[in-house]
Amino acid sequence: MAQPRGQWSGKLGFILAAAGSAVGLGNLWKFPYITYDNQGGAFVLVYIGAVALVGLPIMIAEITIGRRTQRSPVGAFRILMAGRSGGWFWSGLGFLGVSAGFVILSYYTVVAGWTLRYTWMALSGQLRELAAQSGALDAYFGSYVANGGAQVLGTGIFMTLTIGAVYFGVRSGIERVAKVLMPVLLLILFSLAIYASTTAGFGEAMTFLFRPNFSELTSQSVLEALGHAFFTLSLGMGAIITYGSYMNKKCSVPVAALQIAALDTVIAILACVVMFSIIFSFDMEVSKSAGILFTTLPAVFFQLDGGGIIAAAFFILVAFAALTSTISLLEVVSSYAIDELAWSRRQAAMTMGAAIFVFGVLNALSLGANDWLTDLNLLGASHAGLFNSLDYLASNWMLPVGGLFIALFAGWMMSSKDTWAEVSQGHDGSAAWYPAWRFLIRFVAPVAVGAIIFSIIFLGMEYQ
Ligand code: TRP
């Protein structure tokens, strides 16, 4: 550990980097389609509840663990367990997080690569031509994902961009990218939202999103909202532990966590407002799956005035959001090598990035390009293909299990004195939140996450 440890330049740097991690494909692609599948209103409310009562407390726990130990997950748990028995188990939990980062990044970059392709297609006019012929967008998407060369290229370009940011370090790489991309992302999204409010479908979209109808709500939706709260806030694998380890002791942990969670939620909801306003304007069918982003939306964009610009702005928005998320995933894996194996940052970013890319190629080829990888059936017929199997493994197992144990660790293995010693630093405001947090992290979060895991095992539910 010869190199001085990186640190964010200040509060804003941390907030934007962590919000950059949180805001990603989960917000702009997954949340809209699961909201649609779950009939809107009531689901949105439950989701907000899940973020507030489970996501936010676990985010506070992760930041606390990271900032206290100044380490990424494996080292963080080792330090906190020093001199106590069972340390191997908790370091193992840290390792599960690092592995989850590896796995998620290996398929996330594939989808992220699509956003680059579609940005290019929107700018070059190809997307407009496809939108003009009925069925052409679907056909194009199908043949594009099955084109091995194109998939590997997109994945490779995206991984190169990701490595570039991690290579330059916490402040000159990660923070700098987030400080440019996040404001642009917000600007694009707000502009699209203002535009959406002038479309014919806006009223219907608002009713759909904000008028809850609780009779539509099922226990499956509640659990799906909870599962998604995890993924969208980047919780359960130590990404926020790692980012928290670069946080200055002068910043307030609960305030930062609240701002990140709020920003993530606002962006997810705004994405719904934009998409549903546009889609409802034309009475389009919404398909579950990647379709909403890459086939349904492009089709409607070109029915609008200035469709090409809207489409390009939209895909750039998604690409930016994805990039700040892939950076956080690579940072978790790299910081493990930096902290635990004493690698240099540059060596860690390039080696780990290259290794994940090589593995990612297998995912890139599992969408039709290679028969064996496409049909590979590791976890049951509904997850055929390596890509689907890994997404299922990570979102349904690694993150919930990781989140459960992080909550248990912060609530039960760390003393109240210990956590207070950390969170009181840099927080000048009222301390009234603290007992509430303790209660949520000790009881509410473990029970809720336990319910997710229970329902996956015993009720056969899935969250993806
Ligand atoms: N939160 C991101 C999204 O919504 C994805 C992501 C980035 C993530 N880092 C993570 C998910 C760490 C889980 C864990 O798309």
Kindly list the distances between the CA atom of residue 273 and the CA atoms of 181, 182, 189, 276, 364, in Å, as whole numbers in the listed order. 21, 19, 10, 5, 31
Residue listed under structure tokens 């190199």: 3
| Ligand 1 pocket, residues with Cβ under 6 angstroms | 21-22, 24-27, 104, 231-232, 234, 237, 239, 325, 328-329, 399
Quote the tokens at residue 318: 């998604």
Contacts of 10 (CB under 8 A, 6+ apart): 248, 251
Instruction: With beta carbons less than 8 A apart as the criterion, state whether 366 and 374 touch.
Output: yes
Quote the tokens at residue 390: 């890994």
Instruction: With beta carbons less than 8 A apart as the criterion, state whether 162 and 169 touch.
Output: no
User: Closest residue (by CA) to atom 8 of ligand 1?
Assistant: 234
Cα–Cα dist 463/448, whole Å: 14
- With a cut of 70, which residues of the chain have pLDDT below it? 1-3, 286-291, 381, 463-464
Quote the tokens at residue 351: 């080696």
Instruction: With beta carbons less than 8 A apart as the criterion, state whether 382 and 41 touch.
Output: no
Q: pTM higher than 0.85, yes or no?
A: yes
Helices 399-408 and 56-69 pack at an angle, to 10 degrees, of 70
453 Cα–ligand 1 center, Å: 19
Per domain, the residue ranges of the chain are 11-458
CA 279 to centroid of chain Cα atoms = 24
Query: Mutation test of ligand 1: which of 329, 332, 395, 401 has the most ligand atoms closer than 8 Å to its C-beta?
Result: 329
* Residue 135 DSSP class: T
Query: Mutation test of ligand 1: which of 34, 328, 406, 449 has the most ligand atoms closer than 8 Å to its C-beta?
Result: 328
Residue listed under structure tokens 């490779």: 156
User: Closest residue (by CA) to atom 7 of ligand 1?
Assistant: 325
Secondary structure (DSSP) of 174-226 = IIHHHHHHHHHHHHHHHHHHHHHTTSTTHHHHHHHHHS--GGG--HHHHHHHH
Cα–Cα dist 287/404, whole Å: 32
Residue listed under structure tokens 């329902």: 455
Q: Is 267 exposed, middle or buried (0-12, 13-18, 19+ CB in 10 A)?
A: buried
Q: Is 341 exposed, middle or buried (0-12, 13-18, 19+ CB in 10 A)?
A: exposed
CA 80 to centroid of chain Cα atoms = 27
Contacts of 411 (CB under 8 A, 6+ apart): 61, 438, 441, 442, 443, 445, 446
232 Cα–ligand 1 center, Å: 6
234 Cα–ligand 1 center, Å: 4
Query: Mutation test of ligand 1: which of 234, 329, 401 has the most ligand atoms closer than 8 Å to its C-beta?
Result: 234
- Of 3.30.530.20, 3.40.718.10, 1.20.1740.10, 3.30.70.260, the CATH number of 11-458 is 1.20.1740.10
Quote the tokens at residue 223: 């659990």
Query: How many helices (H) and strands (E) are present in the chain, helices listed first?
Result: 26, 0
Query: In the prediction, which pLDDT does 464 show?
Result: 57
